[in-house]
Amino acid sequence: MASSGNVESPPQLLTFDGILSDFDGTIVDSTDAIVKHWHKIGAELGVDPKTILATSHGRRSIDTLQLYDPKKATWEYVSYIEGRIPKEYGSDAVEIPGARALLAALEESGATWGVVTSGTRALIDGWLSVLNLTHPEFLVVAEDVELGKPDPRCYLLGRKKLGLEHSSSLVVLEDAPSGIKAGKAAGFTVIALTTTHTLEQLQAAGADVIVEDLRSISIKSVSNGRVELEIRNAFQ
């Protein structure tokens, strides 16, 4: 979704203690599935799905439901409806370009990494299974935090799970302004993807580096626990 005519910078190497990645829009593109899901939920709630979709991306479902039907804003209900998505709309999702290769490289290299998502565990486990993607050892899901993005505590919890409580040398991979703001508020470097938002929106949210998708990010090396990333074709 990047604007045309933007100059791309030469390759750069960046080194971090750990990597934390968002999931939906960063690793998996489930837009079509999510649209169908919220149309179904909107019909059940008697709410125009376009109204829900205008604010739902990058936001926890429990926070979205709180706006329209607080009685249904429970983890039991949210896990149930999100768990249905990969089962009912599995053919409507694909991995973000470069995601499969990057996740495999992270696992094979021994890099310290994890996923921090606004989705529930049922949703993430479902998509990873349906798409047969590498499952992260460290995972922060919607149920794990009191407040969702742009609040930074999800990424701070991610850092803790990685065993890097005293490090500020972490990089966050994100696609949504709310997630970028959460990563920056946590004190981390943020690499944003133009997979769901425009270059201008990602710049306004404060992203440090912006690329088209995960094909621009690769593992150069892992030494003494630190991972060196090569970033190609970043927008200037």
From 46, 64, 92, the end of a domain falls on 92
Is residue 221 within 8 A of residue 199, CB to CB? The reply is no
Phi-psi region of 10 (alpha: psi -120 to 50; beta: other; left: phi over 0): beta
Residues 122, 166 share a domain: yes
From 92, 111, 132, the end of a domain falls on 92
Whether 193 maps to a domain, the answer reads: yes
pLDDT, tens digit, for every residue of 154-211?
999 999 999 999 999 999 999 999 999 999 999 999 999 999 999 999 999 999 999 9
d(CA 146, CA 142): 8
| Residue 215 lies in domain | 13-30+93-235
Provide block-wise average pLDDT over 10 residues at a time, the chain (236 residues). 63 97 96 95 94 87 95 96 96 96 97 97 96 96 95 98 97 97 98 97 98 98 97 93
Tell me which residue of 171, 176, 175 sits closest to 111, measured CA to CA: 171
From 92, 115, 141, the end of a domain falls on 92
> Following DSSP, what letter does each residue of 185-201 receive, concatenated?
HTT-EEEEETTSS-HHH
Predicted local confidence at residue 2, as pLDDT: 54
d(CA 188, CA 47): 37
The model carries a pTM of 0.92
Structural domains of the chain, count: 2
Task: List active site positions.
Answer: 22, 24
